[in-house]
Amino acid sequence: MKERVPIPDFARQWTEHVEASTSLRMRDDEAERAFWREFIQRKVYAPEPSAIQVLEYLRPLLHTHGVESVLELGPGWGSYTITLAELCREVACVDISRDVLDFILRIGAEHGPHNITAFHAKWEEFVPERQYDLVFGYNCFYRQADLERCFQRMDQAAEKLCVVGMNTGLAPAWIHELDEAGGQVNWEWKDYIYFVGVLYQMGIDPNVMVLPFEKELSYPDIETLIRGECARCAPGTVDAETAANILCRHFVQTQDGGWRATVRYHSGVVWWTPTGRQWG
C-alpha cells in the first residue's frame, strides 16, 4: 500500500547540487575552517533582520512546547544563538570551526547569556550524549550532502521540536540583466522547498511558514558596487561599463557618494515534532 504521493527525489537532487559545487569549501574541511577563521576576524555581532523576524515567530512556539534546552547546528556569527540563549535555559552549539565557537562564546559572555556551551565537531560525526528539547539549524546546511541523514540525526537528538530554515528568494532584476548581458550568473540554487520535500519523503509532514523580509544593499562607491554585484558573474564576462549601466538603473546614489538598493527575500521556517523513530 502506497501512502505517499510520488514527488521528485529532493534528497537526490540536493546531493547532486552539493557534489557539483566547484567551491573547495564544500568538500575540504580545512578550507571551510580557513574561510571561517578569516571571516570571524572581521565580524562584529549584529543579528540579521531576518533572524529577528524568525525568532519572533518561534517565540510562542518554543513557549508552547516548553523548550528549555537547545542544540544548534552551525551557529555562524550568532544571529540566532544569543536570543535563543535568552529564551532558554541552555544552548549547545556544534560547529566544525573552532574560531566560530570561540566567537560565539565570547559574544555570549559580552551580551549577557552565560548558558552557552560548544562542541567542536562535524555534525555528521557528532554524537550528543543526550537529547535536547529543540534541535535547531538555520542557513547552515550548505555542506550537508546527505540532507535526509542530517534530518534523521536531528530528529533523534530532539525531544520536543526540530526547526530548520533558510533565507531564499528570487534574484533581483539587475541580476537577470547581468545574466542577459552575458554574465553567466551563478545564483544560489538552495531553497527551503528541499527541506519540505526531503522530510515528506521521510514520512514527516512538517509545518512551514514563509516570512518576507527586506535587506538593504549598500556600497561606498561605484567600483565597489560593480565588484560586489558582479561577483556572481563568471570572470571576464561583463565589462565594467556595461555593469555600471545596468546597476545604476537599480541602485540609488546617496549624498555621500554611496549606492543603495533594497531587495526583498523570504525566510522559510520548517519545523516538526520528533518522530521517536530509530533511523537506520
Give just the sign of the alpha carbon dihedral 67, 72, 78, 80.
negative
pLDDT of 205 higher than 80 = yes
Section 231-258 average pLDDT: 94
Give the chain's mean pLDDT. Answer: 94
Listed in sequence order, the DSSP H helices in 147-250 are 147-157, 173-178, 192-201, 222-229, 240-247
Q: Give the ranges where 96-203 is alpha helix by DSSP (H).
A: 98-111, 147-157, 173-178, 192-201
Average pLDDT of span 129-151: 96
CA distance linking residue 246 with residue 251, whole number of Å: 9
User: Which residue has 505517499 as its cell numbers?
Assistant: 4
pLDDT of the residue at 188:
77
Its sign, for the CA torsion 186, 192, 196, 199, is positive
Give percent of the chain with pLDDT exceeding 70.
100
Going from N- to C-terminal start, the domains of the chain cover 10-167+188-212+267-272
d(CA 250, CA 217): 11
To which CATH superfamily is domain 10-167+188-212+267-272 assigned? Vaccinia Virus protein VP39 (3.40.50.150)
pLDDT single digits (tens) 254-266 = 999 999 999 999 9
* % of residues, the chain, pLDDT over 90: 84
Examine the pLDDT at 1 and tell me if it is beyond 70. Answer: no
In angstroms, what is the C-alpha Rg of the chain?
Answer: 20
Residue 132 CA to residue 34 CA, distance in Å, equals 30
**Which of the pair, 261 or 114, is modelled with greater confidence?**
261
Q: What are phi and psi of 188, to 5 degrees?
A: -60, 130
pLDDT at 3 over 80: no
Under the banding of pLDDT at 50, 70 and 90, the label for residue 218 is: very high
8 Å CB contact between 137 and 154: yes
Q: Kindly indicate the confidence band of residue 35, based on its pLDDT and cuts at 50, 70 and 90.
A: very high
The pLDDT assigned to 114 comes to 87
pLDDT at 4 over 90: no
Q: Which residues contact 42 (CB under 8 A, 6 or more apart)?
A: none
The answer, yes or no, to whether residue 280 has pLDDT greater than 80, is no
Q: What is the mean pLDDT of residues 162-173?
A: 93
Give the least confident one: 13-17, 188-192, 202-206, 270-274.
188-192
pTM of the predicted protein model: 0.91
Task: Give the span between the Cα atoms of 175 and 250, in whole angstroms.
Answer: 10
Phi/psi of residue 260, nearest 5 degrees: -135, 150
pLDDT of residue 6: 83
94, 123 in Cβ contact below 8 A?
A: yes
Read off the pLDDT band of 140 (50, 70, 90): very high
Q: What is the pLDDT of residues 50-90, one digit of tens each?
A: 999 999 999 999 999 999 999 999 999 999 999 999 999 99
Whether residue 23 is predicted with pLDDT greater than 90 in this model: the reply is no
